[in-house]
Chain A
Amino acid sequence: MDWQLAIRLRGVVKRYGPITAVNGLDLDVPQGTCVGLLGPNGAGKSTTMRLLTAQAIADEGELEVLGFHLPEESKQARARCGVSPQLDNLDVTLTVEQNLRVFAHLYRIGRGERQAAIERALQIANLIDRRNTRVDKLSGGMRRRLLIARALVHRPQLLLLDEPTVGLDPQVRQELWALIDALRAEGTTILMSTHYIEEAQRLADTVLIMSHGSAVAAGPPSDLVAEHAGREAIEVYGPPAALAEAEAAAQAVGLRTRRTGTSISVLGVEGADGRAPEGERRPANLEDVFVLLTGEEIS
């Protein structure tokens, strides 16, 4: 194949009336990597996902998925992609196995291989002993796993995960992270949108931070943190007045700060001997980067 990028977007614009949901987005997803689209609700992540399956048609820009031009060749691209949507759209009155069977047909798996594909998907979702359970009897975590397994039934070259763990309990979320991490380890190319910082930090090789429809930074999570937020941060807790004071003091000595709900984070304190305020020292993280770059709070 003469393409190395599973996804290549250049200057993509998508407008809905007066609203520009995606505004000049460039995005590269190299084969065999997991790229995280990180941004708050309304940053344009879901619209980007819909553009990749041509369920939304871009107003401007170039889109290539697996070497196919969108929207003209989107059907060929879709045949080789798996999509796990943000909103659960399983057939709830059907069993787990029936749901997979429907998608084995929709993804054109030949008669001879269909059952094996279904078994493999059941195994991925860890739902072998639930195969005959109706979907409306499954827990939220099981439904999510089935949704991802359904997207993998035809061994796609590219997996699109739109907010794979939204609305799930923390332990169920970790279970799903293990599943996604295993797929990644096998070399599946993944584009994942999320508004959970930790999810992007743990699972993505490269993170693209989106705000108001465009990319504000891209790179491996640790590079982004080192580049924009430094190595360490100090959290200062206290009543609002004390926080304002600490904020002013840190800024006066040239340190960057950001507000969180209950504290002030003073960033880049590793080189600030003596100038840094008293507080809890912690490693800098993607959230610091995000807030610094966009001025927006996330999740």
Chain B
Amino acid sequence: MAVATTPRTPRLGRLERPALTGVLVREVINFSSYWRSATFSSTVEPTIYLLAFGFGFGSLVSRIGGYRYVEFVGTGTVATAVLFSSAFPAMFGTFVKYQFQRTYDAILAAPVDTEELVTAEALWVATRAGVYGCVPLVVAIFFGLNPAWGMLTVPGIAFLSGFGWACFGIAVAGFAKSIENFSYVVSAVLTPLFLVAGTFFPLSQLPEWAQVLGNFNPLHHCVELVRDAAFGTGGWDDLGRVAFLIGYGLLAWRVAIHAMTRKLID
């Protein structure tokens, strides 16, 4: 008997608003059951960094680049807060949702495609990062950082960075065979990027090759954008930084969709 063959075409990729809304509604309703712990970890950790470095180093180094050390760190740790509230929840949350809770099986049986699922999840995590990213700034204001109008752009900067890191986390979860594999990513990728972002010390302290590499670190651009916004030192190079973060977000988004499609669709 002749059998017609179906080519392995992927399902139609199109971002429909009702599909995105459906996934977001699920997250918002779920958030009502765990917002306390999420808020706790996303605010307390960067605050501890801020206090430990701000006062620990601050007593040794009084000023960096014309700013008090606590101001320098307070603005820098916005990037830390963004990373902690985007890449980590995206990695663990995604893994738990497909592996243990099988939530994604349920969602993909509804009229939602992988592309929409990943996009909505990343938007949700990015939104949280946009909010939690502002916490260090608020704490720093308590410790003497002068409020500035430019700071109003910080949620947007945090959202944009958070979107890229959320997609990064989803992609890692999509490629990981087990949750233990996350250790490689945390140790070999996230920790170095987090330390060499200009958060705690300016990159200009580093050898030239490290400074060049630093320009490929999305966290570094986030740090610089926030400082420029807070200190009113913005310039044309900030447009380049925004462009870099947009590019990073788009790339990570496509990679995340690819990874999750491989994982979720047999």
Contacts and interface: CB of A to CB of B under 8 A. Distances in A.
Contact of A106 (B8, B30, B110): B110
Given A16-B266, A61-B4, A106-B22, A93 B11 contact: no
Nearest to A103: B110
Interface in B1-48: 1, 3-6, 8-12, 18-19, 21-23, 25-26, 29-30, 33-34
B101 interface: yes
Contact of A24 (B3, B11, B19, B101): B3
A58 B3 CA distance: 13
Interface in B233-266: 264-266
B26 A102 contact: yes
A79 to B, nearest CB: 4
Interface in A189-242: none
A61 B7 CA distance: 9
A60 interface: yes
A101 interface: yes
A45 B6 CA distance: 20
A276 B4 CA distance: 49
B112 interface: yes
A63 interface: yes
A85 B12 contact: no
Interface in A85-139: 85, 87-94, 98, 101-103, 105-108
Contacts of B210: none
3 nearest A-B residue pairs (beta carbon): A11-B3, A106-B22, A89-B102
B12 A75 contact: yes
Given A50-B266, A93-B33, A102-B26, 8 more contacts: A24-B3, A59-B6, A60-B6, A91-B26, A102-B22, A102-B25, A105-B26, A107-B110
A41 interface: no
A105 B103 contact: no
Contacts of A53: 108-109
Interface string A49-63: 010011111111111
A16 to B, nearest CB: 7
Contacts of A102: 22, 25-26, 29
B237 to A, nearest CB: 43
Given A53-B109, A60-B3, A85-B106, A98 B266 contact: no
A262 interface: no
B4 A89 contact: no
A14 B266 CA distance: 9
B111 interface: yes
A63 B29 CA distance: 36
Interface residues of A, number: 47
Given A54-B265, A55-B266, A89 B111 contact: no
Contacts of B265: 54-57
Given A55-B264, A78-B111, A63 B101 contact: no
A108 B111 contact: yes
A47 B1 CA distance: 23
B30 A94 contact: yes
A164 interface: no
B6 A62 contact: yes
A8 B40 CA distance: 52
Contacts of B113: 75
B22 A108 contact: yes
Contacts of A89: 101-103, 105-106
Interface residues of B, number: 36
A101 B21 CA distance: 13
B266 A60 contact: no
B107 interface: yes
B6 A63 contact: yes
Interface in B71-120: 101-103, 105-113
B151 to A, nearest CB: 35
B105 A55 contact: yes
B3 A93 contact: no
Contacts of B26: 91, 102, 105-106
A146 interface: no
9 contacts: A55-B264, A55-B265, A71-B9, A75-B11, A75-B12, A81-B109, A91-B101, A91-B103, A93-B34
A76 B11 CA distance: 11
A83 interface: yes
Interface in B176-198: none
A11 B4 contact: yes
Given A56-B266, A57-B265, A74-B11, A106 B4 contact: no
Contacts of A88: 102
A282 interface: no
B9 A106 contact: no
B209 to A, nearest CB: 44
A78 B109 contact: yes
B14 to A, nearest CB: 9
A132 to B, nearest CB: 13
A72 B4 CA distance: 15
